[in-house]
Amino acid sequence: MTVPLISLRGVTKVYGSGATQFQALKGVDLDITGGDFVAVMGPSGSGKSTTMNILGCLDMPSAGEFTFRGHHIETLDRDQRALLRRKYLGFVFQGFNLLSRTSALENVELPLLYRGEDKRSRRELGMAALDKVGLADWWDHTPAELSGGQQQRVAIARAIVTSPDVLLADEPTGNLDSERSVEIMQLLTTLNRDSGITVLMVTHEPDMAAFARTVVHFKDGLVERIEAQHRQGEAVEESPSRLREGLGVGLSPTTSSDTGGQAHPQPSSGSAVPPAQPEQRGTLFTPNSQAGGE
Amino acid sequence: MFGTTLVLALRSIRRHLLRSFLTILGIVIGVGAVVTMVTLGKATTAAVQQQISALGTNVLQVRPGQGFGRGGGGPRPPDFKPEDVTAIANQVAGVTAVAPQASATATAIYEGANWSTTINGTTAAFLTVQPWPLTAGRYWTPAEEEAGKAVCLIGNTVRQNLFRGGAAVGTRMRLGNISCDVIGTLSTRGQGGFGDQDDVVVMPIKAVQRRFTGSRDIRLMMVGVDTAYSTATVQAGIMDLLRERRNITGGKEDDFNIFDTKQISDTLTGTTTLLTRIVAAVAGISLVVGGIGIMNIMLVSVTERTREIGIRLAIGAVAREVLLQFLVEAVALSCLGGLIGLALAQLVILALVPVMQVPWTFDPQINVVAFAISAVIGVVFGYFPARRAAALNPIDALRHE
Ligand SMILES: Nc1ncnc2c1ncn2[C@@H]1O[C@H](COP(=O)(O)OP(=O)(O)O)[C@@H](O)[C@H]1O
Ligand SMILES: [Mg+2]
């Protein structure tokens, strides 16, 4: 029985106050195992992005518990959350969000700057990350000189350059055509499989969600259901309450009608999901991860 | 952390060259104006002082009449007599020497070359009041002075026009209707505010009175003042004595004037210094306006770069780092503006110095001060936009269009 890497318990989020008050999340319970590839689906306005922002430590829940590696995140202040993002998280956005007039390499190096890496190791790690996304030859191109798919790959390189535990992607293929989208999904799958990065991805498209190992369905600010998918395209349906006890463990597979029979692009190799990060009850911040990293 | 921030700031400046240039334009002009104005002001003051000190400090000039351009009508007041010179020298406390002067103009001729110049008759006291070294030859002896011999010292302008680099001392030149022995050449005094001071022939006063003016009248007395006395006290002493000697009583106005070069020098210096300060203050205001310009564009820049700030915050920049980045950017910009302003000022000064006929000077103090002010402006006017950037919420910032 693995302890989840990330755990939400009764998380609510209320936007605004008074008459304009709006409850975007109404008590979300969710466990995410380290090394999983999770797709978050659901109708527009169901609270997917809100959840992602909370999971990405960009926003705070109004109530409820949020633990990362067993540490309570809801008690951290703004700067501590920033340091957490710096050390453990990588972000990919729908709109790429690269710095304009800035070369691909400099964009990728940006997180390393905040980690206080010196110029040489920034170059090395940056080029290695660009190589992983297949853009090593494009290192000196600015976003304006790159296609949408290439820009998103640069953004992924930027997200993984620090070797984060978790990669959060809110509709990463939302601005791309289907061919480019599949490329991005294959890249994320490879990263998940080979580097053991836990991937959390919001998507509208079932074709993209099919790449994931676990699909979380949101509706009206609540988790409606969670499916575990087999690599061969089989899906496992489970109730949220059972999933709390640990995803991907001891689940009896049932064939899901919408993905069944489809040629599934998931890797066919028998490689097991990398083991979840061992639970660390120590501090989240080592001394050298303090602000500035100097 | 600071090194990283500086790298980020410089990158950002380089990426937005035009915007950076527009941002610092105000500082460039402000610093340039302050440095130019103060430097040229000081140079003008120095030039004025130099011209006045060429007349001699601690020297009073006594002339008949009511001063420059006054007392038009009525009979001309009488010139001074040699007895007045002796009386002032002997009876007024604080007087070191009194040099009478009688002037005439005449054409000097030597071996076909001729030059029209001023002849200045005086006594040895002239050199006590206002030392004037020789480059060659000798001064006249007391015997020659007493006899009114036709011996002369020539100024540099006369020497150059008449002797063209050849030896002058020991020759005999024609001066008007007389012949005169050149016994010495005077060193260069230069172009004063009162014409070429080297275009002169100096002779014993008796020779000038006898051969040129034809009277014992003295048009000007140069009075040397002991440095232990104030020129004002000595001036008052001379005034009392001359009023008595010229029978000016009661409320009647003086029919002579005493010109104090030191006083004029102080007044002019004070005026130019005041002018410099006023102009520098106006230029300083433009510096502040430049600072507000920086703040303006930094604020625009924060809005424009909201998304960038969101990205930085998302990938783990803490608020302090974002604040520092924008602050360092503002300071780097304003310092850059300061440096360009200093360079610009030097160019403008170099261009204006010949036009204004003032000596070129470099004043390290005002350069350092102006640069320091530009840095301070960066901090002061960069802080507010930087704080605003640092306070942004990453989610809102990322969603910003
Ligand atoms: N900053 C905000 N202020 C007020 N309401 C918000 C804010 N962000 C999201 N909402 C609302 O919360 C609900 C959930 O939003 P979101 O999580 O973005 O949905 P989605 O599932 O489409 O990503 C929506 O109805 C949205 O209008
Ligand atoms: Mg959304």
Q: How many domains does chain A have?
A: 1
Q: Tokens standing for B146?
A: 């007493």
If you measure CA to CA, which chain B residue comes closest to A293? Answer: B1
Q: A253 or B128: whose pLDDT is higher? A: B128
- Looking at all shown ligands, the one closest to residue A47's CA atom is 1
Q: B232 or B74: whose pLDDT is higher? A: B232
One domain for residues B246 and B114:
yes
Q: Which domain holds residue A80?
A: 6-275
Q: How many domains does chain B have?
A: 2
Residue B319 to residue A158, Cβ atoms within 8 A: no
- Residue B209 falls inside a structural domain: yes
CB B79 within 8 A of CB B245: no
One domain for residues B276 and B238:
no
- Residue A281 falls inside a structural domain: no
DSSP code for A145: G
- Residue A286 falls inside a structural domain: no
- pTM for this one? 0.69
Query: Given B15, B321, B398, which is nearest A93 (Cβ)?
Result: B398
Q: Which residues have C-beta atoms less than 6 Å from ligand 1?
A: A 15-16, 22, 24, 42, 44-50
Q: Which of B229, B254, B279 is the last residue of a domain?
A: B254
- Residue B213 falls inside a structural domain: yes
One domain for residues B239 and B270:
no
Q: How far apart are CA A275 and CA B92, in angstroms?
A: 112
- Looking at all shown ligands, the one closest to residue A43's CA atom is 1
- Residue B259 falls inside a structural domain: no
| Burial class (CB within 10 angstroms; exposed 0-12, middle 13-18, buried 19+) of A278 | exposed
What was the ipTM of the complex prediction? 0.80
- Residue A290 falls inside a structural domain: no
- Residue A283 falls inside a structural domain: no
Q: Which of B123, B95, B119 is nearest to B258 (CA)?
A: B95
List, for residues A169-207, the tens digit of each pLDDT value.
999 999 999 999 999 999 999 999 999 999 999 999 999
Q: How far apart are CA A130 and CA A118, in angstroms?
A: 18
In chain A, which residues have their Cβ closer than 8 Å to the Cβ of B4?
A: 113-114, 116, 292, 294
Q: How far apart are CA A140 and CA A104, in angstroms?
A: 6
Q: Which of B254, B276, B303 is the last residue of a domain?
A: B254
Helices (H), A14-142: 48-55, 78-88, 104-114, 119-132
Query: Given B1, B8, B320, which is nearest A294 (Cβ)?
Result: B1
Beta bridge partners of A199: A37, A167
- Residue A239 falls inside a structural domain: yes
B309 at interface of A, judged by CB pairs closer than 8 A = no
Pairing of strands B151-154, B200-204: antiparallel
Instruction: Give the gap in angstroms from C-alpha A164 to the nearest C-alpha of chain B.
Output: 11
- Residue B243 falls inside a structural domain: yes
- Residue A294 falls inside a structural domain: no
- Residue B72 falls inside a structural domain: no
Q: How many CB atoms lie within 10 A of CB B270?
A: 11
One domain for residues B6 and B97:
no
How many contiguous H segments (helices) and E segments (strands) does chain B have? 13, 12
CA-derived radius of gyration, chain A: 19
Q: How far apart are CA B255 and CA B138, in angstroms?
A: 38
Q: Which of B219, B225, B258, B255 is nearest to B101 (CA)?
A: B219
B207: left (phi over 0), alpha (psi -120 to 50) or beta: alpha
One domain for residues B24 and B95:
no
- Residue A235 falls inside a structural domain: yes
- Residue B65 falls inside a structural domain: no
Q: Which domain holds residue B393?
A: 2-51+266-399
A134: left (phi over 0), alpha (psi -120 to 50) or beta: left
One domain for residues B38 and B146:
no
In chain A, which residues have their Cβ closer than 8 Å to the Cβ of B313?
A: 58, 82
One domain for residues B191 and B273:
no
Q: Determine the pLDDT at residue B357.
A: 79
Q: Which of B195, B229, B254 is the last residue of a domain?
A: B254
C-alpha A143 – ligand 1 centre gap (Å): 29
List, for residues A63-81, the tens digit of each pLDDT value.
999 999 989 999 999 999 9
One domain for residues B226 and B294:
no
- Residue A288 falls inside a structural domain: no
C-alpha B95 – ligand 2 centre gap (Å): 98
- Residue B247 falls inside a structural domain: yes
Confidence of residue A252 (pLDDT cuts 50, 70, 90): very low
CATH of the domain at A33: 3.40.50.300
One domain for residues B121 and B166:
yes
Q: For chain A, what's the residue count?
A: 294
Q: Which residues contact B247 (CB under 8 A, 6 or more apart)?
A: none
List, for residues A2-51, the tens digit of each pLDDT value.
678 999 999 999 999 888 899 999 999 999 999 999 999 999 999 999 99
One domain for residues B248 and B280:
no
In chain B, which residues have their Cβ closer than 8 Å to the Cβ of A93?
A: 398
One domain for residues B86 and B227:
yes
One domain for residues B176 and B205:
yes
Residue B315 to residue A102, Cβ atoms within 8 A: no
- Residue B73 falls inside a structural domain: no
